[in-house]
């Protein structure tokens, strides 16, 4: 393990150092920008649709970079930023769910007056130079970035847009887990694995079964991670059923249910939690530019510059020059993880500035570092994992951290004050 860690450091330290220097440079430029940006009466709008990880990173970067005469507007339907990393943990541990919902009102703190605005709302239509909100408001744009992410079933993502309702969803699942003796989790991606481990380590007497349709856990990652996690699940006493795809009733109310397996047998579980699948939120382009949506995966087709392609040929030069897509909704070739979306935000920001100033556009080049994983395996253990571009897998066992992980850092990143006394 020590050799793998050393190899990781040696190979990727130049990239890490380059990124650190980039952050320092950005900070210096932000200070200068704060003193030179002048608020104007009718600035041109750079709109961002979606305020999750990719969207807020782009908003932050643009707010400290856009020249006088431009402003960034972030449009987001949720009342609070959803820190989805902690949703599995807060589905199990009671009384801590409010920490996962971070107010947006600190996001523009420290930026020049007039450069940033956040609008609560849902965009229902994109037009050539404007968007239409559900409440019929119309907002024009000079540049547009689509960072609408994906839809997943609770608890990976929640249905409510208000903090109170979202907390209620997590509390309802906490209660059902507490009441149930036999629990099935269907889907062994990162959310399913973490949820199974959390239930078993916080409630050791419960019978937990993890069911997966494939023959390998954590399908998007390599065999070494599967082997390690499979062993840890066994140590915890979690039953793992691979190659099973039981049909689920979409009742959404966490009721007891029978599951039917391939051999025809049935088992009744007190609680079944689906952790399967995700759908890109790309439907906004369905009427505006339907050929920009991939037939294969439903994601938005983009050039390496992350400008949206206007037909189904991936090598097409035809694109919407002032409209970008980033994060999980975009077909970038990069990892579908928050880190990748935040790196894509850097590229989109740079290319918007280049478009304004007549500079050279940058291409997004995915790095294996963006797909690195830090996975909790219950309250006492975890694992760090990276799959190199040559297929080599680097795996580092970790000790369990705080119950709330590093949620305080997320609050700081959004300019919000995190104080345990407030919860």
The residue that leads in pLDDT, 413 or 8, is: 413
Give per-residue pLDDT as tens, 105-121. 999 888 999 999 999 99
Rounded to an integer, what distance in angstroms lies between the CA atom of residue 189 and that of residue 124? Answer: 31
Mean pLDDT of 59-68: 96
Give per-residue pLDDT as tens, 233-290. 999 999 999 999 988 765 556 788 899 898 888 999 999 999 988 899 999 999 999 9
Q: Does position 401 have pLDDT exceeding 90, yes or no?
A: no
Q: Is the dihedral angle over the CA atoms 22, 23, 28, 31 positive or is it negative? A: positive
Q: Does position 156 have pLDDT exceeding 70, yes or no?
A: yes
**Chain-centroid distance, C-alpha 46:** 22
Give per-residue pLDDT as tens, 365-388. 999 889 999 999 999 999 999 998
Q: Are 124 and 108 in contact (CB under 8 A)?
A: no
Q: Does position 136 have pLDDT exceeding 70, yes or no?
A: yes
Q: Which residues make Cβ contacts (< 8 Å) with residue 417, sequence separation at least 6? A: 106, 411
Report how far apart, in Å, the C-alpha atoms of 271 and of each of 248, 249, 346, 398 are: 12, 12, 42, 30
- What percent of the chain shows pLDDT beyond 70? 95
pLDDT classification of 340: cutoffs 50, 70, 90:
very high
Mean pLDDT of the chain: 92
Structural domains in the chain, sorted by start: 21-154+279-370 (3.50.50.60), 163-277+372-416 (3.50.50.60)
Residues making up the chain, counted from first to last? 423
Report how far apart, in Å, the C-alpha atoms of 292 and of each of 68, 194, 276, 321 are: 32, 35, 26, 13
Reported as type and span, the H/E element at residue 269 is: strand 266-269
pLDDT at 42: 95
Tell the burial category of 321 from Cβ atoms under 10 Å away from its Cβ (0-12, 13-18, 19+). Answer: middle
Q: Is the pTM of this model over 0.75?
A: yes
Report how far apart, in Å, the C-alpha atoms of 213 and of each of 26, 151, 264, 276 are: 45, 20, 16, 9
- Token pair for residue 312? 């189904």
Report how far apart, in Å, the C-alpha atoms of 183 and of each of 277, 364, 371 are: 19, 42, 30
- Token pair for residue 351? 């290319």
Q: Are 57 and 101 in contact (CB under 8 A)?
A: no
């Amino acid at each position: 393990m020590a050799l793998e860690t050393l190899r990781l450091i040696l190979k990727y330290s130049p990239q890490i150092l380059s990124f650190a220097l980039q952050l320092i440079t950005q900070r210096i430029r932000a200070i200068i920008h704060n003193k030179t940006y002048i608020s104007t009466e009718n600035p041109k709008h750079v709109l961002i649709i979606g305020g999750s990880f990719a969207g807020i990173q782009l908003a932050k970067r643009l707010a400290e970079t856009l020249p006088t005469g431009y402003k960034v507007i972030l449009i987001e339907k949720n009342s609070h930023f959803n820190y989805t990393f902690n949703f599995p943990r807060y589905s199990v541990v009671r009384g801590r769910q409010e920490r996962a919902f971070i107010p947006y009102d600190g996001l523009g703190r420290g930026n020049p007056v007039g450069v940033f605005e956040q609008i609560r709302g849902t965009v229902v239509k994109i037009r050539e130079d404007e968007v239409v909100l559900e409440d019929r408001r119309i907002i024009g744009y000079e540049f547009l970035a689509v960072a609408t992410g994906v839809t997943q079933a609770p608890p990976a993502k929640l249905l409510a847009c208000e903090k109170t309702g979202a907390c209620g969803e997590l509390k309802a699942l906490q209660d059902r887990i507490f009441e149930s003796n036999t629990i099935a989790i269907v889907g062994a991606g990162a959310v399913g694995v973490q949820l199974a481990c959390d239930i078993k380590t916080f409630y050791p007497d419960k019978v937990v079964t993890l069911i997966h349709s494939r023959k390998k856990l954590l399908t998007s990652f390599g065999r070494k991670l599967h082997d390690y996690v499979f062993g840890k699940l066994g140590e915890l006493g979690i039953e793992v059923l691979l190659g099973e795809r039981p049909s689920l009733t979409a009742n959404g109310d966490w009721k007891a249910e029978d599951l039917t397996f391939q051999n025809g047998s049935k088992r009744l579980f007190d609680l079944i939690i689906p952790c399967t699948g995700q759908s890109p939120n790309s439907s906004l382009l369905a009427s505006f530019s339907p050929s920009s949506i991939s037939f294969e995966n439903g994601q938005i087709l983009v050039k390496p510059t992350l400008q949206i392609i206007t037909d189904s040929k991936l090598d097409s030069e035809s694109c919407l020059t002032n409209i970008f897509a980033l994060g999980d909704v975009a077909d970038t070739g990069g990892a579908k993880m928050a880190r990748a979306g935040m790196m894509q935000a850097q590229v989109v920001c740079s290319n918007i500035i280049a478009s304004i100033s007549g500079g050279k556009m940058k291409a997004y080049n995915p790095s294996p570092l963006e797909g690195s994983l830090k996975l909790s395996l219950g309250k006492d253990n975890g694992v760090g994992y990276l799959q190199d571009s040559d297929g080599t897998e680097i795996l580092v066992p970790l000790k369990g951290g705080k119950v709330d992980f590093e949620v305080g850092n997320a609050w700081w990143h959004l300019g919000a004050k995190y104080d345990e006394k407030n919860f």
